[in-house]
Structure 1
């Protein structure tokens, strides 16, 4: 089953549902604190531990973790920032029989610190000694484990609520990741993230998911026993002029590697010779006018337009012609920028089977002010998909895929090695190739993004875009074995 990503409100609802179903908060707290202790013991050699406890249930988790670590022979001190303020936290504090002292800003380099001050539900900036401690921690190389989220982060955006926030090497959260755990700013503050099962049930009607194979692998378009190239999908890619052809070839090769049975590069006459010199299994066909493109698109299941296509009215007309064919469109790069003066003209050409693949700069051109004005990237991508009436893939270290019906997914396997010219062209090819094979567009965009990142991680340093299509077979073979 795909794993949901929860908002703070949804996590609160899951907790309340568990309590209403007969599991007391004290029991959930005991499970959470024990999970923190287990994660610490699994990852760190025994050393002195200082646990900072706040007033709420996050602090209660800290008292429980202290008890379990002490029981295992660890030297533990609890430092109290505020007295416990909830019944469950007071109960947990009363069961802690070890050393307790006020919160201190005197830090020891060899100790392990556990931040159980405030969890994902914090809604105001850190204050007083807690804020001072957070600032001091950023100046010293300390080992810090956070309970739920590092204190001072907003649980829905991953951004600091004020000037001071903690950063952790390890964050232990419960039941499901929250948005702060998947958006890049929060992920950087959280370090390694462990999701512990404390016996909660899934929340109903959640439509935000981790983008990994559990979300789409059951509908991945593996070929049937009697498959041939014409049943595996027809993908076409629009090339730029003679001096701008490499990006489209990268897309075409990506589509071929991901499994499309027949891939054709549609080339202006001036670029035929240079494209022919570089193509083998990818076919080549000329076009001169938007009418020619429309005719070619009628023989395709999916068409990619944008990679080095040229910015301007010609590309805008070409996209409009392809939109009349019924083929699903993957709209990237120059094809997006060509509509920067009138995004509504682009949206009028699209339907829910089409996919837009902007990086943040292109996103701003087509959806001006939306990214800056949204609380976070998930909300921005969802609103963009609603405005465009198409799937939107907002690229980044935390790539977000959003559908017009509200579904969204966030990639967790992003890698900085993909930050290289042409990488996005291959991604467009992966997505177009999957759509051509009959995969639903939202799932194709999710699968393409995950496989793309997996390829980048497999290669690592020194990656260039030309490497990516050749890395796809190993990633696909692993998926095939998992069926």
Structure 2
């Protein structure tokens, strides 16, 4: 895959526009299909050298055309090939019809296929453009192949998977590998699509990058350092702690102080120059017993907070981990409306009855980061969260626009979205990162990056990526305390 395109994710509609633009520029569309099918055949032979038979499933569109080309190449290589088609192949048009005409194999109706020992299935039924539930006969076939445990190599995307959202449309193949062309789709990275695609290969079939970039909105990409490293603060010899920012993390009551300490430690490790835990006076001793580099400040109520905020160096805050749900949280957030704030956990839930109250506080230049998991997202954005027509990226972007905030929609496929429509899908988080307190660490990392001057979207995206890297370093069986200790600055 071209490095120029390595992070870009194209929706199926954008990829269709790319294909049309390539054809309009004089690039032969059948030549592209020929290259795609040849790449599939090569991948099948390389990955399954001991296959007894390649079973090629051909759909009614261009994905089926790719499959016919692959079948021809496999047969010419000397492999045993069986071909099955969905619908009447005589109705194929354009390049797909030409691909079928060039394949000497006689196909059989899809419903006839019964998996046999030694079969490797090549799925060329639908690809990424499917927008409806799979037909009954395809659902039944997927069930037979799955029950038999036959390996599946998917062309473009496992059939039954929505290339835009990663959702399963009734049923979908579980591929052992997936071959796609030029760029990935969001469905390759979003769950459950990422698991169903399994190992993904991207082949360059000769469409110039300039055409792809001209047709792509460029709003969706994978979350990698290339997306935000250009905005990182420059390292300078003449610096001091306040130039690297002062992060404040609010603590809960005396029996709920651990979450704030994990956030504070993570913020310090992420590079903030100073970190202070603002705690109720009754919780000062509990916090002090565990802190060294992190400072403490007593804050009991909004009056205390208002007086402290006269210090304009205090610009970045984390509120939520272990804080408690209720009016006190809402009052503190109101007092912080002109500052940069990461609102997590209890802070989010405190606005579940009137989310608009929160959103109205943070108009203008984005300065709020919200870090909801699935349940918290549904509480803040009930109509968006329950809209089954939307994928996770769509939901995150809609929420970011409504809240005028950077949204970190957490999960195995965490999506970071900005009010301007940009979205990044994160992929570097290990499964063992799902542990109690992990979200507190993430909130602190994002806060530490905000304190150093990163804009909200970039701070959120970089924080999510650093969180995943820390999880990789900490390894399986990590605790949140260990996770925080493994955070490294950018």
Q: For the superposition of Structure 1 and Structure 2, which TM-score range results when normalised by the shorter chain? A: over 0.9
The 2-side partners of 1:181 and 1:122 are apart by: 14
* Equivalent position of 1:411 in the other structure: 426
Aligned pair partner of 1:217 in 190, 214, 229 = 229
Unmatched segments (≥5 aa) in structure 1? none
When the two chains are superposed, the root-mean-square deviation of aligned CA atoms in Å is 1.9
Kept in 1: contact 2:58–2:125 (CA 8 A): yes
Kept in 2: contact 1:254–1:426 (CA 8 A): yes
* Equivalent position of 2:168 in the other structure: 160
Q: 1:439-478 alignment to 2 at 5 Å?
A: 439-473=454-488, 476=489
Secondary structure of the equivalent of 1:89? Answer: helix
Kept in 2: contact 1:221–1:434 (CA 8 A): no
* Equivalent position of 2:323 in the other structure: 309
404-413 or 70-79, larger mean C-alpha shift: 70-79
Offset of residue 335 of structure 1:
0.9
Q: Does 1:137 align with 2:145?
A: yes
Kept in 1: contact 2:323–2:346 (CA 8 A): yes
The 2-side partners of 1:396 and 1:132 are apart by: 31
Kept in 2: contact 1:291–1:321 (CA 8 A): no
Offset of residue 246 of structure 1:
0.6
The 1-side partners of 2:229 and 2:49 are apart by: 38
Change beyond 3 A, Cα 1:417–1:222: farther
Aligned pair partner of 1:300 in 314, 321, 335 = 314
Kept in 2: contact 1:223–1:232 (CA 8 A): no
Secondary structure of the equivalent of 1:373? Answer: coil
Aligned pair partner of 1:9 in 7, 13, 30 = 13
Give aligned pairs, total: 472
User: Structure 1 length normalisation: TM-score?
Assistant: 0.93
Q: Does 1:65 align with 2:70?
A: yes
Aligned pair partner of 1:105 in 113, 128, 132 = 113
Secondary structure of the equivalent of 2:152? Answer: strand
* Equivalent position of 1:195 in the other structure: 202
- Deviation sequence 1:116-172 (CA, Å, 0-9, x none): 11111123333354332112122121100111111122222222323x332211111
The 1-side partners of 2:76 and 2:126 are apart by: 24
Offset of residue 99 of structure 1:
6.1
Q: Does 1:176 align with 2:183?
A: yes
The 1-side partners of 2:223 and 2:93 are apart by: 36
Q: Does 1:348 align with 2:366?
A: no
Change beyond 3 A, Cα 1:235–1:143: same
The 1-side partners of 2:203 and 2:81 are apart by: 22
The 1-side partners of 2:476 and 2:354 are apart by: 40
Q: 1:5-404 alignment to 2 at 5 Å?
A: 5-47=9-51, 48-82=53-87, 83=89, 85-98=92-105, 100-103=107-110, 104-127=112-135, 129-162=137-170, 164-200=171-207, 201-202=212-213, 203-297=215-309, 298-323=312-337, 326-351=338-363, 352-374=366-388, 375-404=390-419
145-154 or 428-437, larger mean C-alpha shift: 145-154
Kept in 2: contact 1:109–1:141 (CA 8 A): no
Secondary structure of the equivalent of 1:194? Answer: strand
The 2-side partners of 1:73 and 1:432 are apart by: 59
Change beyond 3 A, Cα 1:100–1:367: closer
The 1-side partners of 2:186 and 2:477 are apart by: 31
Unmatched segments (≥5 aa) in structure 2? none
The 1-side partners of 2:435 and 2:139 are apart by: 39
Change beyond 3 A, Cα 1:170–1:23: same
